Structure 1
Amino acid sequence: MSKGKDLAKTLMETKKVFVVSKTFCPFCVKAMRVLDKYSIPAENIEILQIENRPDMDEIQDFMKSVTGGRSVPRVFIGGKCIGGGDETQTLDKQGKLKPMLEAVGAL
């Protein structure tokens, strides 16, 4: 496994909340606004901004192999991909996101 894949795989497995993101992406901003509402402690969340990384394509290709999509954001809770910005917002509005975060000890 190469460096970008290794990094993404490790973060997926070790962080309670992990997001693959790009700073200029409106869907990434949407997901981050939702997650910010919960004041997740820094040790429980990792945001991997990939737009300036030389291994950006490698990470996105890895995301496609793991989640079926290579677009960002890719939001993981407890190592499970819940989707992107729209899905994160929908889970929040349905009252399902907070219990998911609590179940993995992120809050």
Structure 2
Amino acid sequence: MSNRAQKLVDNKIASKKVMVFSKKFCPFCSMAKDVFRKYLGKELDASDYEVLEIDGENDCDQIQDYLGTMTGQSTVPRVFINGKCIGGGTETDKLHRQGKLKTLLN
């Protein structure tokens, strides 16, 4: 695992209220991003939200490996709110439908 990948992931998570590690053509990634679009400008300021499309990164595999080490899952998306991994697309959508995501964002 590259030191750059680890630093990148750690810095991104620390710098944003909501950090999503994603791949452009992943349907579960799209699901998570669609959920967060509903909160932008309301409970979630755009400056507090970032999506990193890791398939555009040279060290994509190392980023995914490090996310797996951190969270126990190397699949994307990996969604972090206030530094804590809440899971992937299915979990994000479920929290939204249960009304719990709004609470996590406040």
* TM-score (structure 1 length as normaliser): 0.92
Structure 1 counterpart of 2:88, from 65, 84, 87: 84
Aligned position for 1:16: 17
Query: Which of 7-16 and 80-89 deviates more?
Result: 7-16
Aligned position for 2:5: 4
- Could you give the per-residue CA deviations for residues 46-99 of structure 1, whole angstroms, max 9, x where no partner exists? 111011211101100110111001000000000000000000000000000001
Q: Percent identity?
A: 48
Return 5+ residue gaps in structure 2 as ranges. none
What is the correspondence of 1:2-81 to structure 2 with a 5 Å cutoff? Answer: 2-39=3-40, 40-81=44-85
Q: CA RMSD in A?
A: 1.0
Q: Distance in 1 between matches of 2:57 and 2:100?
A: 33
Return 5+ residue gaps in structure 1 as ranges. 103-107
* TM-score (structure 2 length as normaliser): 0.92
Aligned position for 1:95: 99
Q: How many residues align?
A: 102
Give the match's secondary structure for 2:56: coil
